Amino acid sequence: MNKALRQMAVPAALAFVMLSFLVLAASEQALEAEDALNAAQKDMEQMVSDGLPVTRYNDTLLLAQQIMEVQLNNENAGAKPDYSVFYGKIDELKDLKQKAYAAVDELRALAVAINQTEGIDTAPVWDIYREAKAEFDNERYEQSTVLIDRGYGKISELEAIQTKIVAFAESTSRNVTEFLKALWKELLTASAIIIAAVVLTYNRIQMMLIRRRIAESERRRESVKNLTGETQRKYFERGEISDTTYHIRTKKYGEMIRDINRRIPLLREELELRRKRKI
């Protein structure tokens, strides 16, 4: 584990020791708040153990501790405490943890998808991946997720461009040959042939693009299945991840696979309709 990440937990741990003395004579509300704070501290320790960045989490945790300390002092002074702001910070910590694990899983899935992509220059996609990783390292998980989605879109865009280039070259060669053979025909007949060729080429390109999208979805589904299997091995065989981490990851992977499974039949249905149409 990164030594710097371990050291980040020290200020929070010291604050817990100070708070424990205040809680001894506090109300049931204070005891419940202490339990929530202890759980948040354990979550951060797990995140550090898993190699996740925790600067933002640690700062929010320290703020929650300070808010709780103020309320404990109010109690000891005979005033009525209000822990609503404190629990708002606890909810914020839970949200940060969930987003952190979801983002790191999405990053892994994108890396697998890029490595499995063939026939195109993936350098632009890796550039987007590195941007997403930088946002993740800075704990800007929302921006990281946006960039991850852009990475998948870039793969589709590059594959579509490659498909159009190949289709255009084949179509141009075929159309020029047919045109030269038909020079002696009437202008009307030649025009009809050219129009038919354009329509046929368009439909074929659309079919090729749909096949690419189906293949991309299947690759992404396979990479997510691989990540699911690895998560299960870490949890059941090697005991390297906690129950919370395991359930967060498997839930996220399940949602991703269900979304892909809904999309693939629709693409195949569209492909079949175009195949029957022929033009």
pLDDT tens track for 90-131: 999 999 999 999 999 999 998 998 898 888 888 998 999 999
Contact 22, 69 (CB under 8 A): yes
Quick one: pLDDT at residue 169? 58
**Mean pLDDT value across the chain:** 81
The DSSP element (H or E) to which 220 belongs, if any, is helix 187-232
In the predicted structure, residue 176 carries a pLDDT above the cut 90: no
What predicted TM-score, i.e. pTM, was given to this entire model?
0.53
Contact 120, 159 (CB under 8 A): yes
Contact 31, 68 (CB under 8 A): no
Whole-angstrom Cα distance, residue 111 to residue 76? 54
Residue extents of the structural domains in the chain: 3-82, 109-277
In the predicted structure, residue 23 carries a pLDDT above the cut 80: no
When pLDDT is cut at 50, 70 and 90, the band that residue 4 belongs to is very low
DSSP type of residue 122 = -
In the predicted structure, residue 86 carries a pLDDT above the cut 90: yes
Which two structure tokens, joined as six digits, stand for 258?
Answer: 């269900």
| Range with the poorest average pLDDT among 82-96, 131-145, 187-201, 202-216 | 187-201
Quick one: pLDDT at residue 170? 63
When pLDDT is cut at 50, 70 and 90, the band that residue 276 belongs to is confident
Mean pLDDT on 201-216: 83
In the predicted structure, residue 43 carries a pLDDT above the cut 90: yes
In the predicted structure, residue 201 carries a pLDDT above the cut 80: no
Backbone angles phi, psi at 99, to 5 degrees: -65, -35
When pLDDT is cut at 50, 70 and 90, the band that residue 17 belongs to is very low
When pLDDT is cut at 50, 70 and 90, the band that residue 7 belongs to is very low
